[in-house]
Amino acid sequence: MLIETLKLLFERDLNKLTQEIELYRNESNIWMTSKDISNSAGNLCLHLMGNLNTYIGATIGGTSYIRNRELEFSLKNITGKDLLASIAETKKVVDQSLDKITEAQLNAEYPLLVFKEKTSTMFFLVHLTTHLSYHLGQINYHRRLFDF
């Protein structure tokens, strides 16, 4: 039951992320920053894709994804079309990976030590939904600040 709920939340928020990127009227505004806002919407989007592809795709789903976290925050001016393609692919990876997880795995320790202390896979997956939601809110605010 939790897996189906998580799948719905990831799908909902990744669809909303797609909408946010599509709503930028000027594509270059996706990459804007200021002295008080150091992360662009584009970099937050790349960060979310790296996060989900690492912690769900590779770790749970067994994909061959290898994360380069530094690039998530240093790459610039990737086209909106490419960002949208990355979101669409990540959405598939998340869905397919979550289909593979068993109840026993869900209750077991998450295979990677991400925080200072070990967590269950269930806890970590819930964390990933809130992480996505947090940055989605930042992207929404970024768009309303910079894309006028």
> What is the chain's pLDDT, residue by residue, as a tens digit (148 residues)?
899 999 999 999 999 999 999 999 999 999 999 999 999 999 999 999 999 999 999 999 999 999 999 999 999 999 999 999 999 999 999 999 999 999 999 999 999 999 999 999 999 999 999 999 999 999 999 999 998 7
Which phi and psi (to 5°) does residue 120 adopt? Answer: -80, 160
Q: What pTM does this model have?
A: 0.95
pLDDT score at 1: 84
> For the chain, what is the radius of gyration of the CA atoms?
16
Tokens coding 42: 């584009």
Q: Which residue type sits at 10? A: F
pLDDT score at 28: 95
Would you put residue 24 in left (φ > 0), alpha (ψ -120 to 50) or beta?
beta
